[in-house]
Structure 1
Amino acid sequence: MSSNDVLGRGTGGDLRLAGLTKRFGSFTAVDHLDLTIPQGSFFALLGASGCGKTTTLRMVSGLEAPSEGRIFLGDDDVTERKPHRRPVNTVFQNYALFPHLDVYENVAFGLRRRGIKDVKQQVADMLDLVELGHLARRRPSQLSGGQQQRIALARALINQPQVLLLDEPLGALDLKLRRQMQIELKRIQTEVGLTFVHVTHDQEEAMTMADTIAVMNSGRIEQMGSPADLYENPGTTFVANFLGQSNLIPGTVEGVRGDVVTVTAHGQRLTLPADRCRTDTGAVILGVRPEKVRLAPAGSALPPGVNALAGGVVSDASFIGVSTQYLVRLPSGEELAVFEQNTGCEIQRPGTEVVVHWDPSQSFGLDGSQDIEAGADLDEESAA
């Protein structure tokens, strides 16, 4: 029997949150959240500590009661249902395995509690899914962190939830194992076809696994889309700064001609595509990701048509193997980040005068009235 047969792939319908709000006294943790998570998707709620993502997850699971709003699974309103009455299971960061039970009995626990006597085949299928059948009679204390995480996942999946909630499930693992488990979790989700809702503060984790990411800020969704959409076309300075790293340059829209916007910044004329600019007049913040920017020695010939800012001086150069990460101080005092791939190019030493340049099509433009530093220095050490 396959894992799809065990779980009943594609049942239950979309998860829909309608006006979902949670207040703790005078503090609003989640603020009128409207969200539809398609059935069978891998969806990430991404944000820093205090943004409301874990509170949202706890309301979906039934561990917190909403102050306002409704929660629907398909056509069913589950807002008032007790946690054990909802077709939802949660995998926590600390796994919450039973230390006195072996792996087999940990996975079988939910079935036995429901009075199912013949659990052998279902447990075997789940252990095969997470590739740990050979450890069935070990205790949790005899497993590595990654193995414990996979057993917690199997224990949750065997209950055939319509939605699996993952609350910072990889937070306790070291970096190498965390990256391995990101791939493993995505494989399992693709194989079983269930809706996974993953809460994390780790941008790389969200981008590696999720089909769709909702970036949360102060209890609301700042922007939602595919990882590529959010990274390449951030809609706000908060998203541009929080999801990866961005160079954000204040300027003024000089004009729009056809599908090109011209911007004046640092005394230079820069251009960008009109469909990547969210304002067509007045103050604008022109953005470009560090890996899109190139360095050229001062006075050297540049490729035709590039955006360029001259008079920069390398203030820092950090070789990290796959790339060299530079900081370049412009005459205005602003510093731009430049990530150059390790292709054997000579490293520019601090103090070297350079020109920074990039393809105009890689620029994006944001409303210039925003806080240019929004999202740049958030505490990402703990989940909300």
Structure 2
Amino acid sequence: MKTTTTATGGDVRLTGIGKTYGAFTAVHPLDLTVPQGSFFALLGASGCGKTTTLRMIAGLEEPTGGTVHLGDRDVTRLPPYKRPVNTVFQSYALFPHLDIFENVAFGLRRRGVKSVKKQVGEMLDLVQLGEQARKKPHQLSGGQQQRVAVARALINHPQVLLLDEPLGALDLKLRRQMQLELKRIQTEVGITFVHVTHDQEEAMTMADTVAVMNAGRVEQLGAPTELYENPRTTFVANFLGTSNMVEAEIDTVAGDDVVLRAGGGKLVLPAGRCSAPVVPGGKVLVGIRPEKIALAHADDAGTVPDGRNRLTGRIADASFIGVSTQYVIDSPVCDQLAVYVQNVERDGRLVPGAEVVLHWSPAHTFGLDAAQAIDAGTDTGEEAA
């Protein structure tokens, strides 16, 4: 089944939208466009303003300033029930006394639709619960109940489906299954999904576009791969996965490369991957993801290919986690460097206390403005916000 958005559909456009509570600013005025038919995630830690933003789209919070447009329609002052929007919350809010069929049919019956069997059947098939139609909610798993909540929202054919931490109550394995299910459903129905989450993996797994929020502002907006590979701030670099940050000084600019000095050695950074001012003598934070780094025992330092960035260090800790081993390396330029090595050909010499060479392709290096806090984004809560 492929349902397309109606002719009255369109992008979700927030223009100068903001929210204050007395002296506290929950959302600073922001401009944001969610393309029609996309899966969009608002990602951030507790208190960052992501849920407040979602609630302003839904009409559950009145903005202090700015406008909300759905397509060409200004809905800023419309109450929730007059907006072509439905919301799915973390608490499924299913009616316990009604079976699954009647839970999904509820919205249609409330609108006076007499013949609901075909529509409800199609929606239950979409969420793969056709055989559970006559069960009560308590007879279903958490993941199945969440799919019922999605079906109940989608049957009203909203222009936009808002999801507020919808998987937060599920265990890890079930949450990962539901991530793929929600993405499949969104692709099949073609309706705009706006998803609020604090879970970085969840946002990157499901969304076409992610807006990383911090302290009521959008820190960076882009595709998951772009945010991960090319973070523009230390907050984004640290909040999305793990980043190693090395303080360095700009030595020279050679063509498309920036040559840096760090701890007596030299590192190369592509100029196009540096968001800091490129001025000889200036400071920059060099970022490298743990999985991009290779480890060689110090005895094998001569085998490291030319043209690689390299640092020396000593293994402080090693944790075997099945698919990879996670090392913590103390280096003259940075304590506690993280390195993730796939367990393909394990080197028995790489144990705590061993002297090592860390090396990686310069193309995997990114540079950030050294004026930022190097640890921004590392100490964030995991509650819904």
Q: Normalising by the residue count of structure 1, what TM-score does the alignment of the two structures yield?
A: 0.97
Stretches of structure 2 lacking an aligned partner (at least 5 in a row): none
Name the residue aligned to 1:362.
364
Name the residue aligned to 1:283.
283
Alignment pair present for 1:148 and 2:149: no
**Cα shift readout 1:37-89 (whole Å, capped 9, x = no counterpart):** 00000000000000000000111111111011100001100000011000000
| 3-state SS in 2 of match to 1:109 | helix
Name the residue aligned to 1:231.
228
Return closer, same or farther for 1:199/1:337 CA change in 2, 3 Å cut-off. same
Superposition deviation, residue 299 in structure 1 = 3.8
**Cα shift readout 1:165-201 (whole Å, capped 9, x = no counterpart):** 0001011111111111111100000000000000000
Superposition deviation, residue 272 in structure 1 = 1.3
Return closer, same or farther for 1:257/1:180 CA change in 2, 3 Å cut-off. same
**Cα shift readout 1:93-134 (whole Å, capped 9, x = no counterpart):** 111111111000000000011111111111011001001010
Return closer, same or farther for 1:95/1:191 CA change in 2, 3 Å cut-off. same
Name the residue aligned to 2:117.
120
Q: Is the 8 A contact 1:284 1:365 kept in 2?
A: yes
Name the residue aligned to 1:309.
311
| 3-state SS in 1 of match to 2:9 | coil
The 2-side partners of 1:190 and 1:333 are apart by: 44
**Cα shift readout 1:3-55 (whole Å, capped 9, x = no counterpart):** 51xx6467510000001110111110000010000000000000000000000
2:93 maps to which of 70, 91, 96: 96
Name the residue aligned to 2:292.
292
Name the residue aligned to 1:331.
332
Name the residue aligned to 1:374.
376
Identical positions, percent: 66
The 1-side partners of 2:82 and 2:334 are apart by: 59
Amino acid at match of 1:291: E
Give runs of aligned pairs for residues 1-384 of structure 1, distance below 5 A. 2-4=1-3, 8=5, 12-279=9-276, 280-281=278-279, 282-300=282-300, 301=302, 302-310=304-312, 312-332=313-333, 334-347=335-348, 348-380=350-382, 382-384=383-385
The 1-side partners of 2:138 and 2:7 are apart by: 35
| 3-state SS in 2 of match to 1:308 | strand
| 3-state SS in 2 of match to 1:60 | helix
| 3-state SS in 1 of match to 2:167 | coil
Q: Is the 8 A contact 2:43 2:210 kept in 1?
A: yes
| 3-state SS in 1 of match to 2:124 | helix
| 3-state SS in 1 of match to 2:151 | helix
Superposition deviation, residue 345 in structure 1 = 1.5
Give me the CA root mean square deviation. 1.1
Superposition deviation, residue 308 in structure 1 = 0.7
Return closer, same or farther for 1:289/1:229 CA change in 2, 3 Å cut-off. same
Amino acid at match of 1:326: Y
Deviation larger for 231-240 or 331-340:
331-340
Amino acid at match of 1:62: G
The 2-side partners of 1:333 and 1:189 are apart by: 43
Return closer, same or farther for 1:309/1:349 CA change in 2, 3 Å cut-off. same
Q: Is the 8 A contact 2:247 2:333 kept in 1?
A: no
Superposition deviation, residue 332 in structure 1 = 4.7
Q: Normalising by the residue count of structure 2, what TM-score does the alignment of the two structures yield?
A: 0.97
Q: Is the 8 A contact 1:3 1:126 kept in 2?
A: no
The 1-side partners of 2:299 and 2:103 are apart by: 68
Which runs of at least 4 in structure 1 moved beyond 4 Å after TM superposition? 7-11
The 1-side partners of 2:377 and 2:260 are apart by: 24
Amino acid at match of 2:284: V
Superposition deviation, residue 333 in structure 1 = 5.6
The 2-side partners of 1:258 and 1:12 are apart by: 47
Q: Is the 8 A contact 1:170 1:178 kept in 2?
A: yes
